[in-house]
Amino acid sequence: MQQKISFTPKYPRLVSPLRIGGITLRSRMCSAPMGFPYITETGLVTNEMTAFYELRAKGGAAIVTVSEAVTHPTGKSHGRLLSLYADGALQGLTDLARAIKRHGAAASIELNHGGMFSEMDIPGDSRDAEIVKYGPSELVLPDGKRVREMPNEMIDDIVASFVRGAALVKRAGFDIVMIHGGHGWLIEQFLSPAVNRRTDKYGGSPENRARLALEITTAVRAAVGRDFPIELRISGEERIEGGYGIKDAVEFAKLVEGNIDLLHVSAGFGEDGFADTHPSVFAPHGANVHLAAEIKRHVSVPVATVGGLNDPGEMERIIASGKADLVCMARALLADPELPRKVESNRADEIMRCLRCFTCHAERMLTQTRVCAVNPIIGRELEAGVSGPGYGRLEAPGGEKKRVLVAGGGPGGMTAALTAARRGHSVILCEKGHALGGALLSEAGIPFKSGVFDFIKTRERQMRLAGVDIRFGAEVTPEFVRRIAPDALIVAVGAEQIVPPIPGIQRENVIPASVLPERISELGRSAVVLGGGLVGCETAVFLAQRGIKTAVVEMGPRLAPDANPRHGPILLKLVSQLAEIHVNTRGTAVSERGLTAAEENGEGFLGEEFLIEADTVIVAAGMRPRRSIADALRSLAPETAFVGDCVAAKNIREAVFRGYHAALDL
């Protein structure tokens, strides 16, 4: 009889239980509040929304927090949000709580009021006359909209609305209620000395500014009882002019801890604090952990931390060192909803880590949908069959087993190969080079883009586990396809660097951005980046952070027009601080001294040439699809699909999405 080997968790503290209030959590890994835009116009739960949150519960999160529920008609901040005062709210909330709980997760829901940022996404038109914003004090917002001081009678009504909302979600079967007291919303507005200028009992001293939070948490506690956990979310620092800092947050935490069971510590205030609340690719992972750690030193209730966390080793150390009792993740669980289960089963090397590219946030701004660059099922969980009645594997098994050949090992090709293999097909992936990643390899050596390397490494691991036959140094030619004779061919041959036809561009001091990681040793003490798109700007930041004097030359009127609206502003702010910028400027020649350039006058005419001295010229002028190679592979198999940059040079999200669906179409 074979001896059974005992299981020892690699991250024992991260998978250990924790008791809060009257419930015990299965682990220390939680799903932070994440909004989902597929809500009815009146603020009711939809089946798509239920499936979205259920996927995180199914993936093993100890708490799944639904975001964000509005308790009062004056409190809707933006978009479509859950309404706890809408007729018929109870039924959908009940189904949602049950869907979360049936997988062993605790169901939580975040209660909020936007205060002076209510209806923040309503454009400045005639409807402004119908909108009245209320905050702690009279003021005018940067967009010109006026905020009225909230009268005491309305404050009482809002406190009562939090009580009604908490009672409703408890009745619906939720296990925890989270009260949002951070990120610049109403409760933090009252806490903030920067915007609270009241002279009554709600203004002035720290105790008075904390009064609204204390009244809400006290009243909610009375309504839900002692054993029903209350979580309070706060910003450990506001990071705005005149705002409060960590010392003030500590004193507030000491005031309120008697009313709550869990303190969730984030950072930032309002839209200007977006990069504080959601640490970008340029910030270290766990950028806000120190705030939770400092507050935890002064309170007796458990403390949760949040902010760009996705590495199990780092999260284990946070718990082990006593900096926090729980780690909360949002974007990380979009990229891989199964992260907690993979940690529990010692499969951390299979975790698809978040790139912190802000595709998820940007797409919600642009199209009011929820997507993820590396996870193509986000936003379509119900359609994909990963949650809801009859849910199964992430990719449902196909019918006929086919022999599939994938040409190209970029993000689109890798995703297509993985998906096809998981559906039961026999898959060969051929990569002409000697490494997977395609266009992503140009970013793999940049420290703040380390998530790209993680993506490549994890995809390769996933493909090998799924049985994909990966072949390096194998170019897919028409002759090769005929020899393999696949049932289906997926063409993902990518794109090539555009090299502008200017004198000297072939000199040894010129490096294409696509091969920069391979030629780092050739960099001098100064560099000029020819091309100010997303790749060019990120390259400039990388060079400047290495201590290289850097300039950027862009022929268009602005930098990084291809960056998404969440990542772009953060990137541009950094570029402007670190590099010399030349827009509306063309490079005209390269010499040993650097790049000669000339400004355009707006009508296509160039002004007087000038020299930008540099040891190295980096070419980041964009990518061109390898259409001729792709076209040569047409009509060589019964089924053929084209994915990724060989169709149109775009981004990782488009490549992953198309690769996934090309495999589903087999």
| Span(s) in the chain for CATH 3.50.50.60 | 510-621
The structure tokens listed for 659 are 């690769």
Contact 405, 488 (CB under 8 A): yes
The predicted pLDDT at position 386 comes to 73
The predicted pLDDT at position 121 comes to 61
Over residues 608-622, the pLDDT tens digits come to: 999 999 999 999 999
The predicted pLDDT at position 125 comes to 46
The predicted pLDDT at position 416 comes to 97
Strands 133-135 and 139-140: unpaired
**pLDDT tier for residue 322 given thresholds of 50, 70 and 90:** very high
For the cut 50, the answer to whether the pLDDT of residue 262 exceeds it is yes
For the cut 90, the answer to whether the pLDDT of residue 5 exceeds it is no
Sheet holding 403-407, edge to edge: 469-472, 426-431, 403-407, 488-491, 639-642
The mean pLDDT value for 431-459 works out to 92
pTM of the model: 0.94
The predicted pLDDT at position 390 comes to 45
The structure tokens listed for 209 are 């500014």
| % of the chain residues with pLDDT over 90 | 87
- pLDDT: is 246 or 605 the higher one? 246
Weakest mean pLDDT among 118-122, 170-174, 370-374, 450-454:
118-122
| Span(s) in the chain for CATH 3.20.20.70 | 18-375
The predicted pLDDT at position 296 comes to 98
CATH 3.40.190.10 fits 18-375, yes or no: no
- CATH domain 403-497+625-664 topology: Rossmann fold (3.40.50)
For the cut 80, the answer to whether the pLDDT of residue 139 exceeds it is yes
| CATH class of this structure's domain 510-621 | alpha beta
Task: Write down the mean pLDDT value for the chain.
Answer: 93
- Cα–Cα distance, 7 to 213 (Å, whole number): 45
Over residues 508-561, the pLDDT tens digits come to: 999 999 999 889 999 999 999 999 999 999 999 999 999 999 999 999 999 999
For the cut 60, the answer to whether the pLDDT of residue 397 exceeds it is no
When mean pLDDT is compared over 36-40, 119-123, 232-236, 369-373, the highest value belongs to: 232-236
Q: What is the DSSP string of 386-428?
A: SSSTT---SS---SS--EEEEE--SHHHHHHHHHHHHTT-EEE
Backbone angles phi, psi at 655, to 5 degrees: -65, -45
The predicted pLDDT at position 600 comes to 87
For the cut 80, the answer to whether the pLDDT of residue 126 exceeds it is no
The predicted pLDDT at position 395 comes to 54
- Cα–Cα distance, 144 to 482 (Å, whole number): 66
Over residues 471-492, the pLDDT tens digits come to: 999 999 999 999 999 999 999 9
| Span(s) in the chain for CATH 3.40.50.720 | 403-497+625-664
For the cut 80, the answer to whether the pLDDT of residue 315 exceeds it is yes
